[in-house]
Structure 1
Amino acid sequence: MDYLYNPYPSIKHTAFAKNGMVATSQPLAAQAGIEIMRQGGNAIDAAIATAAALTVVEPTSNGIGGDAFALVWVNNKLHGLNASGPSPESLTIDNVKAAGHEKMPTHGLTPITIPGVPAAWAELAKKFGKLSLKESLAPAIRYAEEGYPLTPILGKYWKLAYKRFKDSFTTEEFNAWFETFAPDGRAPEIGEVWKSPGHAETLRSIAESNADSFYKGEIADKIDDFMVKHGGYLRKSDLEKYKVEWVEPISTNYRGYDVWEIPPNGQGMVTLMALNIYSKLSPAIPENTKTLHEQIEAMKLAFTDGKAFITEENEMPIDVEHLLSDEYAEKRAEKITNEASIPEPYDLPKGGTVYLATADGEGNMVSFIQSNYMGFGSGIVVPNTGIALQNRGADFSLDPTHPNALKPGKRSYNTIIPGFLTKNGQAIGPFGVMGGFMQPQGHFQMIVNTIDYKLNPQAALDSPRWQWIEGNTVHVEPNFPNHLAQALTRLGHDIQPKLDNGSFGRGQIIWRNPETGVLSGGTETRTDGAIVLW
């Protein structure tokens, strides 16, 4: 890929390597991936090692009790893995309302869904890995047992979470969170060493049993016992039935490149829909008021439709193929005028998450994302295990007519999405942005930065971001060009500069030169991101 210019200088530079590359939000996790690669593992083994390490060294954003998705390039083919978990069988709209809730709560026992992370690691190792799961999880186990010093951004979000939780998590079921993540009655300080022996034992059990202990054995028993004691819904019987799903990735062609995402229940479709709409409007020209206005309006339309329709694919009221069609894109593009607007959902046709990217010298590449959602997730930790359980069920609707209505055994609309880019059937590489509903917006902006503006990976990440919130409200980073912000305001956008509190996402990119095999990568300056090379 040719890079034209870098208008946003960074303290980081695009990294280059030949034999291997791991890019993620924590240096120790990236190092774990390269360590496994040097031991004979491939990009898949490195992704597993990095992901497992991230549950230890960035627990503010992910954990063993979360969900995961992956796009894996192996033998010149892209494979999709959906390791998001469904709701427990006893979690029904009637039961939630009987407990006094008019909408799904965001924390506590109710929004907990079945974790998919351990099953994702095991399945990736089984299908594509060169090393055993036990070998790939060894660095993460070491970090949990020996401890590690907190990095600056990690320490910042850990302390913010503690301050928020200490006033709201006051009942008994939350005690284990404080025992695990605030053992001295406070959040650990930046530079202070934190250990999690229970986390190490859980990882060791997962490694030695290929995750069976988590879903059928001793760990499943501990989860079940805790849930029964405190009145939760998740049971061992739910865990025993869980299986990950291999899926066919979905894509759109954007200016000669194929952009790939995981199909629903993930929100990756929003990125593809927005790219399709935008491609009907502006040519690939440098950033200006017109292009930014049209990008924001395209994202509004795509997101409005995504929130209205995306859930498990077999329960969507409209086909994925139609939402990715030229007909859809053209009809939605016609709605965009020269002024900001508040869109309505499409008329139906009649009839903090962590991200990592890895690549090896053999051509294998992985785009992997896992999350507990909303930072530490539900706030529920299974005692003495290090397992912080996710709260993905918070996105279910209690309106039985809504496409994303809560049902037993159903997977909710899921915010975490990995991305991948190819051209003419050859891999360019993985990319991703963590950060809730910023993720498809981040994917969209990274692709436009890369393809339209021809920015190198680091510059594509460093470019000031915008985030559509609702209505005509758009948040922008402090370094967003003031003249463009003022011009967008004149078009009716409510532009609000915001300090970075994690809401603008954190991403990584690895591109491969199809001719030379040389890898180039970028990682976030918005977090403790690192690229480790081989």
Structure 2
Amino acid sequence: MATYAAKGMVATSHPLAAEAGLSVLKKGGNAIDAAIATAACLTVVEPTSNGIGGDAFALLWSKGQLYGLNASGNAPQQLSLQALKKRGYQEIPVYGWIPVTVPGAPAAWAELSARFGKLPLTDVLAPAIEYAEQGFPISPTVGGSWEISFERYSRDLKDEEFKHWFRMFAPKGRAPKIGELWSAPEQARTLQSIAETKAHSFYRGDIADRIDEFSKRYGGFLRKADLEAYKPIWVKPISVNYRGYEVWEIPPNGHGLVALMALNILNGYDFESKEVAESYHLQIEAIKLAFADGKKYIADPAQMSVHIEDLLSNGYAIERRKLIGNKALHPEPGHPPKGGTVYLAAADGEGNMVSFIQSNYMGFGSGLVVPGTGIALHNRGNNFSLDPKHVNCLQPGKRPYHTIIPGFLTKGNTPVGPFGVMGAFMQPQGHVQVIMNSIDYHLNPQATLDAPRWQWINGKTVEIEHSFPEHIAHELIRKGHDIRYSMDTPSFGRGQIIWRTTDGILVGGTEPRADGHIAPW
């Protein structure tokens, strides 16, 4: 059932984090303060998906305007194609120092707090610091993911630089068990330092020195100078009109553009007249075409070879739509005219609404933990290409193709609210399904998130959840799709939604595939 509230609401994948955000609202904070509190708390209570050493993006509505913040990090200035080829790399590895880019999450918290927050950052981060210091019981989804990560890291991470991860996250020689009390005092001290210095210590002070020293010791490329030069970017959100609603995403280097391109293609169909299987077929084909373009064209915006407005033009959507027939296709990019993530939603009684997402990527990230800090560093640089002809090719100071994307919905310059579905390359697909469930099929937020999901993998292969109707799966098979049931529930994403009704009432939905929770007020 959907959850209703009037004064405020926080929705995310962990109950303690959602309630932390609500507690800040009740202390006089606004939705921005609540979002930061929730995000910081998630680094503590759900380290399997995000951390202080990761990236973040935000869309927020305040005083009649939508703002976008890109807090993804750059590649270190010493990291280059030549440097990697000299070391014998043919592709970016998943673990270790090579895929580590500058973490952006702490800067995002400080930037959002300084521009839009009401409370001091020390008050906002207090719940996260308390849980890190005093401990909390491990929740079911987090415990399961932790065990999977521990088994994988035990098998794959044998080098000395990874010992700090095991000391931090497996001090008893195993992953903590579900319901077991867990604390992280080193992380508590780091969060306290970030709060007191407004993240200055992370990018220019003692924490930056520790990161620099750790990187140098094990042949990493990240330096204090890279941290000192970092600053999150305020960006103009991009959108398409979908049946009278504006669907908003962060522009590249994130791939929210993929969701918008797919919706633009789908705009040309009347789904009320379509059979259910036909509707799924069209959605799958649209996302395949959008991803084909996204993987070819999306990169650091300064490096992109095409204009975003051309990819989102109605003319280009018409051309791509013409490729969709009655049978599954192998997607190819078009030629436009030249011209382990957490998500949270927060709203308050003043009209502020926040869509916020942060991630370490692939669970805990790089497998590196900075000694004495509790900071697990992300591996977002793994998305770079080493093909010098590719638009997303690695360059010093460049931001990689990024998978984490917050979403926002408006209608007639009035906010409807934040939404998001975390989960790597599932995210644009989840956004499309959330929007269609809400707008085309008129489902409330909770029913929207409860609905069975599909996920295009590659070629004609589509994975579906075990709850997906069997007769529709057979219809899709007849249309040429390679349909496979999957028991990997986390791979289908974990979403949150908060809509504001025309009467000003907040209506929320939270993810049944996680330890999801809505904290209403």
TM-score bracket relative to the smaller structure = over 0.9
Structure-1 separation of matches of 2:335 and 2:139: 48
| Aligned position for 1:334 | 322
Q: In the TM superposition, what is the alpha-carbon distance from 1:282 to its structure 2 partner? A: 3.3
In the alignment, which of 499, 504, 509 is matched to residue 517 of structure 1?
Answer: 504
| Aligned position for 2:515 | 528
Q: In the TM superposition, what is the alpha-carbon distance from 1:368 to its structure 2 partner? A: 0.1
Contact preservation (8 Å) 2:345, 2:356: yes
In the TM superposition, what are the counterparts of 1:53-452 in structure 2 within 5 Å?
A: 53-285=41-273, 288-349=276-337, 352-452=340-440
Q: In the TM superposition, what is the alpha-carbon distance from 1:151 to its structure 2 partner? A: 0.6
Structure-2 separation of matches of 1:351 and 1:121: 35
Structure-2 separation of matches of 1:511 and 1:523: 12
- Range with bigger deviation, 339-348 or 119-128: 339-348
* Post-superposition CA distance 1:160-179 (Å, at most 9, x none): 00000001111110011000
* Post-superposition CA distance 1:399-451 (Å, at most 9, x none): 11100000000000000000000001100000000000000000000000000
Secondary structure of the residue aligned to 2:462 is strand
TM-score by length of 1: 0.97
Q: In the TM superposition, what is the alpha-carbon distance from 1:14 to its structure 2 partner? A: 0.5
C-alpha root-mean-square deviation of aligned residues, in Å? 0.9
In the TM superposition, what are the counterparts of 1:457-476 in structure 2 within 5 Å?
A: 457-476=445-464
Structure-1 separation of matches of 2:84 and 2:453: 38
Contact preservation (8 Å) 1:285, 1:453: no
Q: Flag the 1:287–1:236 CA change in 2: closer, same or farther, 3 A.
A: farther
Structure-2 separation of matches of 1:281 and 1:473: 23
- Range with bigger deviation, 344-353 or 136-145: 344-353
Structure-1 separation of matches of 2:275 and 2:418: 24
Amino acid at match of 1:213: S
Amino acid at match of 1:403: V
Structure-2 separation of matches of 1:61 and 1:304: 27
Contact preservation (8 Å) 1:282, 1:291: no
Amino acid at match of 1:363: G
Secondary structure of the residue aligned to 2:491 is coil
Secondary structure of the residue aligned to 1:366 is strand
Q: In the TM superposition, what is the alpha-carbon distance from 1:101 to its structure 2 partner? A: 1.2
| Aligned position for 1:6 | none
| Aligned position for 1:10 | none
Structure-1 separation of matches of 2:273 and 2:177: 46
* Post-superposition CA distance 1:47-68 (Å, at most 9, x none): 0000000000000000000000
Q: In the TM superposition, what is the alpha-carbon distance from 1:78 to its structure 2 partner? A: 0.3
Contact preservation (8 Å) 2:357, 2:406: yes
Amino acid at match of 2:365: G
Structure-2 separation of matches of 1:362 and 1:229: 49
Q: In the TM superposition, what is the alpha-carbon distance from 1:350 to its structure 2 partner? A: 5.6
* Post-superposition CA distance 1:290-346 (Å, at most 9, x none): 111111000000011001100011211110000000011000000001100002111
Secondary structure of the residue aligned to 1:502 is helix
Q: Mind listing any 5+ residue stretches in structure 2 that lack a counterpart?
A: none
Structure-2 separation of matches of 1:324 and 1:232: 39
Q: Flag the 1:76–1:348 CA change in 2: closer, same or farther, 3 A.
A: closer
Q: In the TM superposition, what is the alpha-carbon distance from 1:347 to its structure 2 partner? A: 2.0
Contact preservation (8 Å) 1:267, 1:415: yes
Q: How many residues align?
A: 521
* Post-superposition CA distance 1:71-99 (Å, at most 9, x none): 01000110000000010000001111222
Percent of paired sites with the same residue: 61
Amino acid at match of 1:314: A
Secondary structure of the residue aligned to 2:504 is coil
Q: In the TM superposition, what is the alpha-carbon distance from 1:348 to its structure 2 partner? A: 4.3
TM-score by length of 2: 0.99
Q: In the TM superposition, what is the alpha-carbon distance from 1:459 to its structure 2 partner? A: 0.4
Amino acid at match of 1:106: V
Contact preservation (8 Å) 1:82, 1:245: yes
Q: In the TM superposition, what is the alpha-carbon distance from 1:349 to its structure 2 partner? A: 2.9
Contact preservation (8 Å) 2:43, 2:52: yes
Secondary structure of the residue aligned to 1:272 is helix
Structure-1 separation of matches of 2:87 and 2:135: 40
* Post-superposition CA distance 1:166-201 (Å, at most 9, x none): 011111100110000001110000000111000000
Contact preservation (8 Å) 2:45, 2:136: yes
Pairing 1:502–2:490 present: yes
